[in-house]
Amino acid sequence: MRAEMDEIVLALKRSLLSLKRARVWYYIAFPAISAAFAMTALAVTLLGFLIARLLEYPPMSWLNAWGAFWAAKILAVLGGWAAIISVCYLLALFLTAVFTLPLMLGFLAGADYPGLARMGRDSVAASVWNSLWGIALFLLGWVVTLPLWLLPGFSVVLPFFWMAWLSRRTFPYDVLMVFATPEEWRVLRKQHAMPLLALGFIMSGLTLLPFAGLLAPSLAALAYGHFCLEALRRLRNGAIVNVLPGSRE
């Protein structure tokens, strides 16, 4: 367990060091800015509609019947914003996985893992399919587990679990699809199953920070990039790589 935590901490430290490079911010900013524009558009065009519809469903309709319209309105507003933010988070994750992660990986590999050979396949179609299928499963799981939100604590745990699950399913696949052979990917997925999910939980916590939620998918991709590339390097018994603050820009 200690070794697994050390691997996570190493990936997070290297991610922080990568943030000192201006080029990395180009990769991180694009999905977040795109999702922010989408959020603004959805808030202007759909928020009022969502609030009105949510007021028609329990528990908001029950609160209305009991005369607590103010409480129903607050829940409906929160629900409407939650729906919009969730859609924009998924948009940011999709853009990160399909468009910016390949560019980010090329930069990280050249700067921090120069001896790591690309032995997989670089397929945009496979990345798009993996992301869309993961999002579909995410939405299905979210809907299926909605009744559990009525249990104490589950309304807090479940959103983080599903975001962590989606990050763990999407980003390691996209990273290792390019660099690892199918056999190496199976080995790494088995050996690092829990650390990969734990890393997803940690990065999902960024969604709680004001104005940082839409950056969370790109930052998670950066952390998974470092984690997976280092895990693959160790699997191949390569030389140890130290990422220093003054390394290649």
> Which candidate, 60, 48, 110, 56, places its Cα nearest to that of 84?
48
Query: What pLDDT is attached to residue 139?
Result: 87
Query: What pLDDT is attached to residue 86?
Result: 81
pLDDT digits (tens, 9 = 90+) for 178-225: 899 989 999 998 999 899 999 999 998 887 776 677 899 999 999 999
* Cα dihedral sign, 20-102-221-192: negative
Query: What pLDDT is attached to residue 1?
Result: 64
Provide the 10 A C-beta neighbour count for residue 157: 13
Query: What pLDDT is attached to residue 9?
Result: 93
What is the C-alpha to C-alpha distance for residues 162 and 137, in angstroms, rounded to an integer?
Answer: 10
Query: What pLDDT is attached to residue 25?
Result: 92
For residue 63, the SS3 value is helix
Which residues of the chain are modeled with pLDDT < 50?
238-249
What's the predicted TM-score (pTM) here? Answer: 0.83
> Which candidate, 113, 131, 119, 130, places its Cα nearest to that of 231?
113
Tokens, residue 113: 């893992």
